[in-house]
A and B are shown apart, each in its own frame.
Chain A
Amino acid sequence: KAGVTQTPRYLIKTRGQQVTLSCSPISGHRSVSWYQQTPGQGLQFLFEYFSETQRNKGNFPGRFSGRQFSNSRSEMNVSTLELGDSALYLCASSLAGMGTAEETQYFGPGTRLLVL
């Protein structure tokens, strides 16, 4: 079974631009979560989507948004990019996100975003 895939793997943008990142979960997984990873802050939760609905949200400004499609694929968008948005953006999928013992999140390889 294929793992979580993310595109693009690397991205360079300039301040003020906007960016869209894509995530395809493991087949059969319906929950998709997004995280930002930086050297100083570690892994921080952005949001979680399930059945095309945002179910949980972290403490990030409204410039960060996302959506999920009917096939469970997800995208996240960052508008008006700032230098501090440079980070590794990780997507993780799980079966249904119901918090049971079987619910483990599996991570994709990430998209490394550099904002100049």
Chain B
Amino acid sequence: GQNIDQPTEMTATEGAIVQINCTYQTSGFNGLFWYQQHAGEAPTFLSYNVLDGLEEKGRFSSFLSRSKGYSYLLLKELQMKDSASYLCAVRRLTGGGNKLTFGTGTQLKVEL
């Protein structure tokens, strides 16, 4: 089976940097995704890692260590609009197919 853990809630200040961690246990690992979900809306894709290391996309960066089963999402220059739930999802090889298992999400609150 799979187990994905991420903090339930985090609070940060506008303009600051925040790191959201995600740990996972799975067999057949085939990639880790981060999605952002605003209240009442659909998840939107942020980043994808399949190899170890850091992927940077503007104010967002994501890091992966496969040996440690660990990823983090780094958000820089926080803005109020970044207040949302951040979902970590692991894709597992199933002989083809696209099965994602999601963590329960980290609710980020950005304050002035």
- The finding on whether chains A and B are genuine partners in a shared complex, rather than unrelated, reads yes
Residues on A lying within 8 angstroms of B by beta carbon are: 4, 31, 33, 35, 41-45, 48, 50, 55-56, 58, 90, 94, 97-99, 101, 103-110
Q: Is the CB of A99 within 8 A of B42?
A: no
Q: Are A101 and B45 interface neighbours, CB within 8 A?
A: no
Measured as residues with beta carbon below 8 angstroms from the partner, the interface class of chain B is 20 to 34
Q: Given the interface contacts A42-B104, A104-B33, does A97 sit within 8 Å of B97 by beta carbon? A: yes
When the two chains form their complex, are residues A104 and B48 in contact, meaning their CB atoms are under 8 A apart?
Answer: yes
Q: Which residues of B contact A (CB under 8 A)?
A: 30-31, 33, 35, 41-45, 48, 50, 87, 89, 91, 93-94, 96-105
Question: What are the residues of chain B within 8 A of A108 when measuring CB–CB?
Answer: 42
When chains A and B are docked, how far (Å) is the Cα of A106 from the Cα of B105?
Answer: 17
B94 touches A107 (CB 8 A): no
B98 touches A33 (CB 8 A): yes
Checking B42, B96, B104 against A97 with a beta-carbon cut-off of 8 angstroms, the contacting residue is B96
- Inside 8 A of A35's CB, which chain B residues have their CB? 102
Q: A99-B31, A99-B91, A104-B33 are in contact. Are A56 and B98 (CB under 8 A)?
A: yes
Are the C-beta atoms of A42 and B97 separated by less than 8 Å? no
A103 CA to B48 CA, complexed, in Å: 10
Most chain-B Cβ atoms within 10 A of its Cβ — which of A31, A58, A90, A104? Answer: A104
State A104–B35 Cα separation when bound (angstroms). 11
Instruction: List chain A residues, Cβ under 8 A from B100.
Output: 33, 45, 105
A56 touches B97 (CB 8 A): yes
